[in-house]
Structure 1
Amino acid sequence: MRRWDRRAFLQTSGLALAATAAGRVWATPSETPAMLTRAIPRTQEALPVIGMGTWQTFDVGPGVAERAPLEEVLRAFAALGGTLVDSSPMYGQSEEVLGALAVKTGLQPKLFTATKVWTSGKAEGLRQMEDSLRKLRTQRLDLMQVHNLVDAATHLDTLQAWKEQGRVRYVGVTHYTASAHEAVAKLLLSRPVDFVQINYSVGEREAEQRLLSVARDQGIAVIANRPFAGGGLLQRLKRKPLPPWASELDCDSWAQLLLKFVISHPAVTCAIPATSKVSHLRDNMKAGLGRLPDEKLRARIAAEAA
């Protein structure tokens, strides 16, 4: 799993904070643009603000023609500063494809690999998690999450033991619908989890009502899934001109503007758009560079995207 020594962490954190305060792209000492990061509250480990999901996109067969574009996507993701890649056993072949490509490219040690447990019962949960480790070709995961709160109490007990044994570094829970936010909030207030993954975008703002503040108050990192509302936002906006003031946020596409709305919320740690195209990946990753919107500009983004 990815590791940060103290000096590198302090340099990275300091640069990120300076960039946020100054409202500009922060850079490494060599002045190469580097992605903004947020600290994982439990440990203060720095995590790049743009990650990558694998739902549908990595669910492909074993053929070279099917996997070659995804290998290119994974290489570009890492080269542009991405680390967190999220998968699940419910995503078809995605875990297996991600694991194979991470090993083939030599990127596995540099990635922050997250997946989920999505079943009922302790024995079945253990079997599924062991299977995920095998598919992802690792003995230790960065993050294991209870998917959609399915048998959450049982699996969180197992994962606490795994964490103590060093088999997983972080533990979390997920959901992708607003109707479950209250149940998620109650769990965050009652169980010691490190991450919560929920739907959040300009088009799905229900998490702002309570859940994001609960996560922030409890010191829990937030992964935002569906940052484009399942692609619906981009589809609706593709024929609408980008507002001229988008340049104030160093944005030259709707995807970047929508992602910056998500990652600018103070409770959000990372957003995970999914793609199988390098051109889209590069566009998404640019959202992690440059200036972020303040509350006034967040409101303008929301109004333009309405």
Structure 2
Amino acid sequence: MPETGPLTKRRIPASGEELPVVGLGTWQAFDFGRGGAEHAQAREGLQAFVAGGGTLVDSSPMYGQAEARVGDLSAELGMRPKLFLATKVWTRGREAGVAQMRDSLRQMRADVIDLMQVHNLLDLDVHMATLRAWQEEGRVRYVGVTHYHQGAYEALEAAMRRYPLDFIQINASVAERESEARILPLAAERGMAVLINRPFAGGDVFARVRRLPLPEWAGEIGCTSWAQVLLKYVLANPAVTCAIPGTRNPRHIADNLGAARGPFPDPQMRKRIVEAVAGA
């Protein structure tokens, strides 16, 4: 039987505030125009997300119309107070960064952004100065940095050592495990919350496992789908605060939230998951 009940939450080290360990990414999934079938599906998906206990929604100016759709739908549904909104600054130059962040607040219909991140470390030093000022003024609550590829880990590690970041966002999955060696331990050491993008390796992992039946041992960690198994692999690391799979499909959102319930795999089970995916 699937697990029911409240979602597992983890603390943001900088404040002690808790977040459910599964959030919602918007890359591609929320890049559509107003109205139509996609809008209706995303509306239903966001309703399912909040009804299931989810709070963190992550977006970016580089995600096309995603910020605007999150803003439209959260206003339409009256759920802004229930959401933890995360977005990013992704441009060069102080003034351009300020203009972009102001536009993000407008698009997301938010007086305050919960988390503002320097996307892919672009013009990091310039934007961090602005972000700290905005944080002191109460325009953003938390600040962080992001990247999606292991090739940037050296630069990311340097940023983590240089700045007292509240959050980092990185890629991690059963197929992309490089962050486990240095980045995740450093985040724990430095007291930084961690968001995980690409928890399904951009969907590549599904292409490998979808033809396989769900292993019987998945039930030992309360999983009823491969998506839950793959998410629980990532969430088993206590340094991870929240994984943000991207989708607007209500059924997929509800399924993903199931990974935030029940036990997480121990090291032996994580090894079994790696072997199952590698052998697919």
The corresponding residue for 2:221 is 249
Alignment match, 2:166: 194
SS of the equivalent of 2:195 reads strand
Secondary structure (helix, strand or coil) at the match of 1:124 reads helix
> What aligned pairs does 1:1-306 form with structure 2 within 5 A after superposition?
33-306=5-278
Matched to 1:169, the amino acid is R
SS state at 1:305 partner: helix
Q: Displacement, 1:63?
A: 1.9
Deviation, structure 1 residue 70: 0.2
Q: Is the Cα–Cα contact under 8 Å of residues 68 and 107 in structure 2 kept in the other structure?
A: yes
TM-score, with normalisation over the residues of structure 2? 0.97
The structural deviation recorded for 1:65 is 2.7
User: For 1:230-277, what per-residue CA distance to the aligned partner results, in whole angstroms no more than 9, with x for missing partners?
Assistant: 000011110012111110001011100000001111110000001121
Q: Which amino acid aligns with 2:63?
A: Y
In the alignment, the residues of structure 2 paired with residue 53 and residue 127 of structure 1 have an alpha-carbon distance, to the nearest angstrom, of 23
Deviation at 1:64, TM superposition (A): 3.6
| C-alpha separation in 2, matches of 1:211 and 1:291 | 24
Contact (CA 8 Å) 1:146, 1:152: kept in 2 or not? yes
One-letter code aligned to 2:40: A
Residue type at the aligned position of 1:92: G
Q: CA separation in 1, counterparts of 2:143 and 2:169?
A: 11
What per-residue deviation string (whole Å, max 9, x for no partner) do you get for residues 15-73 of structure 1? xxxxxxxxx96xxxxxx600000000111111000000000000001124331100000
User: Helix, strand or coil: the match of 1:90?
Assistant: helix
Q: What fraction of aligned residue pairs are identical, expressed as a percent?
A: 55
Deviations 1:171-207 (A, max 9, x none): 0000000100111011101101100000000000010
One-letter amino acid of the structure 2 residue matched with residue 149 of structure 1: L
For the Cα contact (< 8 Å) 1:182–1:211, is it kept in 2? no
The structure, 1 or 2, with the larger RCO (C-alpha pairs under 8 Å, 6+ apart) is: 2
Cα-to-partner distance string for 1:83-121 (whole Å, 9 max, x where unaligned): 000000000000000000000001111000000000000
Q: Structure 1 stretches of 5 or more lacking a match?
A: 1-23, 26-31
**Where in structure 2 are there 5+ consecutive unaligned residues?**
none
